[in-house]
Each structure stands twice: as C-alpha cells, then as structure tokens.
Structure 1
C-alpha cells in the first residue's frame, strides 16, 4: 500500500467551483480529495468510490441541500459514522443548531480562515481514526483474527439492504469443522485453538474479493457473506473451500469421516424481496449446513 492511498480521504460537496478549488488546493498535500457539485453526485461518489473519512458539506445547493444530504447519510447505517462538517455562508444560530442536530460534528461559516479550517479537519480526522481503530478491535474475533459474530450481523444487515435496492443476489456459506469436539478430546484445547486459526486463515485466503466477509460465527462454525453472488457461485466457492481444507492434511485421529480435518458446508443465495428479513438467508444456509452434516459430513449442500 502506498503512502498516497493511506492518506485520509475527504469529500468536498459544494456547487460553487471556486469554493471547491480553494479547499482542495489547501488540503491536497495532506489528504486525498474528491469533489461533488451536488448532493446526488456525493451519494453516487460514495457508492462508487467508497466511504470518505470526512465530508465538507455546503448547505445551500440546488435540488438537495446540505441538510437533506446530511440527514440521508446519518440515516444509512453504512454512512452514518462519516464525520460531516458544514462549511456554509449561513451563520444564524438556528442554522448551526439545525446542522448539529442532524448529526454534523462541526459548523464553519464563510468566509472562513483556512488555518482554522485545516486545524478542525485535522482534529476530526484524528478522532475518526482513533474511533475506527477501536471499532475494528471490537469487530475482530480474539482467537482467529477474522471478523466476529457482531461484525457479521452488522454486515448482513447492510448487504441485505443493498441487495434489496440493487436486486442483485446475496449468498451465504456456513462452515462447520467436522467432529471438532473429538479433535479437542484427542489433541487438547490448545491444539484445537490452533486448528481453528488455521481453518480461519485458509478460508480467508480462499475468499479474496474485498466485498466478501469471512467471520467466526461461534465455536467451530464460520460464515462467509458474498454480495452479488448467485447460487451457482456459492456452490463453486463452497466446494473449493471444502477441498482446500481437506488438502491441507491436518491430522484428525478422532474424526469419523477422514484422517484429516474436514468441513461440512451449507450454502444459500437469494435476491431479497422488500418484505423479507436477513434471517431468511441465514436460516436457509443453516438448514443446508444441517443437511451436509446429516449427509455424512465432509460435503457441501445447497
């Protein structure tokens, strides 16, 4: 990763080119800067290019003003944590109160003093980075270093809503390490922990798209969330995962199905209807995992 791509990303939303130019020229040395001339363009930029670390937002824009854009951002779980700073000519107390009540972190009135603007941006970026680090720690399973159940639940909700809007399928794969209790009984819990770490690392290495999520669901179960993936894609990945774990040839003298560590895999995919809940996909993947375990284990079912 280059130094350039590690710089925080700031999105400037303003329909006045001179305002954008002044801010961008003074921020480009320390940050990556993207610009949008309207609220709709800002939403499109976020959807296309990813979440910025901070948004500088004008209030007075045509069609969708800054207040409405801020409201939409804060009401969307995926964008609600992005810090928003209003930079506007509206300087009434009521205007500032409205912006802060909508969830903005700061309110800067024009004409602004650039050193102060840069200092406020620097402070908010630092706070955002600290919050991101703490949140990331809260999302990681302490044993396997993959995302935990809490992170999976959050991402399932986000990706389900995205799939409802886009009408693309969402796939889920559930993995269970076969006869893991017997593994612990045979080799001890320390070895069992090492086994789970290896399985998690192998699953993560096989599921390589940035949008996919491998998480520890609990105990010896893992779950993979795969946006824009149909049932055929889920089937292919599920079988690849099963074969990869078996090919590692981790000894399992207590297994009832193989002399190596193996996994049972259930998979499902659906295009969410507007009235469906994420639990529909979860329940189906879990049902398929149950079928795999009842079909002799070390197999995939969907």
Structure 2
C-alpha cells in the first residue's frame, strides 16, 4: 500500500489491519516516493515487512512480494508444527493446554458443561518390550488417528497428553454424552485389533479412560486444574479396576 493516501494514510490503515484478527497476519509492503518523508521505524513497528520506493520496476515488486509470501508460508508451517506432535500428527500438550483454557473460559461465559477424557494405552511398556520401539511408535500413531477420526463434532479436540496418554476436550458436553463418546473411542481402538500378546488385559491393544465433567462458573472454586485432576483420578480408577474400561461420574 501507498503511505500517502486520501482520508487515511498507509500507517493508519496498516495499524487497523494489524488490529483485526482476520487481517493481522497479512504481510504489508509500503510503497513511497524517495522525496516523501518516511518514518521506517514507525512502519515496521506497526507490522509492515518492507518498503519499496518509487519509481519502481514491476519485476522487482513481484520478486519482493514472492519473497515475503514464501517467508509467510514458512512462518505458518513453523507455527503449525509448534502445536503438532510429530509422531502422532495430532495436537501436542502445548496446544491442549491452550484449547482447554479457551474452552473453560467459554463455558464460564455460556454456563454450559465441559468434559475432559484422559486415555492411557494399557501396558504400553510391555508392548514396546515385546515388539520394539519402532512398532510402539506405529501403535501410538494408529491409536491417535483412530481417536481423531472417531470424534464427531468439529469442536471436539484430541491431543497427545504425554507418553502413551491422550486427552480429549468436549465443549458443551454433559457427563452422559462424554462417557458415550469415551466408549465410542474405546470401541474404535478395539476395532483396529492391534496385536498385543504380552498384555494381561487382552490379546490386542486396549485403552483405559477417565472422564470428568464440570459446569464452571465465577462463583465456585473449580478451575481447569480441578477438571484435569478429576479426570486423572477417574483414569487411575479405570486402571485399578482391571483396565480397558471407561470410568466417569
């Protein structure tokens, strides 16, 4: 964009673009005449990525635009992979923490329930000892993808929580439907029938799940930590009761 424009100059327009979430990530290149007084620091502080001086040559402009588009694509890839677990190709713990906090705050504003499922692959260490870590990585990937495919709503969210544990965030979901979802996830993993000859639970890979549901509000003392702790407690109960089950309520 040009710096000198009627009604609104380029600096002001750039500032408005950067304030709007829909346009804030668009690279902005200023065009200005050498004779015009430029405040490059101001432009860069507002978020501009480059300056081009008049008179300019179209091939040079195209080359600069191509450069900044390539840089933008690489930046987007880096941002994407920063929130994706490389092994399972689903969101990682960092993304989980962010999404859960956002959904908890949204639940407070809307006064609707939020549910959390914590899942753990049963006797995964025995699986690695029997088949090797390469097969163990394949197992983690397959379980993660099965869980991701089984979620029915676009708002439902699954992430690798750590090691062989996974977490599922279910916005606007009561306890009954959360447990129903957990059982569907468990069944989807059962259907894969990944052999696990060393498991004392079954002859294929199984999971245990703990489900917690809360309706947060500003008056009670419940917080995100309480939701996680309760789901973790239910997961422990599931593992203590023989594994390959869903424990909630």
TM range (shorter): 0.7 to 0.9
Is 2:148 aligned against 1:204?
yes
Residue correspondences, number: 234
Classify 1:98/1:282 alpha carbon distance in 2 versus 1 (closer, same or farther; 3 Å). farther
How high is the TM-score relative to the length of structure 2?
0.73
Classify 1:170/1:101 alpha carbon distance in 2 versus 1 (closer, same or farther; 3 Å). farther
1:130 deviation in Å?
A: 3.9
CA contact (8 A) 1:234 1:267 kept: yes
Root mean square deviation, CA, Å: 4.0
1:281 deviation in Å?
A: 1.1
CA contact (8 A) 2:27 2:68 kept: no
Which of 222, 227, 242 is equivalent to 1:296?
242
2:83, 2:189 → 1: CA distance? 25
2:226 corresponds to which residue? 280
Q: Which has the larger radius of gyration?
A: 2
2:23, 2:157 → 1: CA distance? 20
2:100, 2:26 → 1: CA distance? 23
1:182 deviation in Å?
A: 0.7
Classify 1:122/1:189 alpha carbon distance in 2 versus 1 (closer, same or farther; 3 Å). closer
1:266 corresponds to which residue? 210
Larger mean Cα displacement after TM superposition, 184-193 or 267-276: 267-276
CA contact (8 A) 1:83 1:124 kept: no
CA contact (8 A) 2:126 2:199 kept: yes
1:131 deviation in Å?
A: 3.0
1:298, 1:223 → 2: CA distance? 16
Alignment of 1:112-151 (within 5 A): 129-151=73-95
1:124, 1:221 → 2: CA distance? 39
CA contact (8 A) 2:186 2:206 kept: yes
CA contact (8 A) 1:152 1:215 kept: yes
Q: Deviations over 1:184-206 (max 9, x none)?
A: 11111111111111101111110
Higher RCO by CA contacts (8 Å cutoff, separation 6 or greater)? 2
Query: Where do 5+ consecutive residues of structure 1 fail to align?
Result: 1-18, 20-59, 61-66, 74-78, 86-96, 107-119
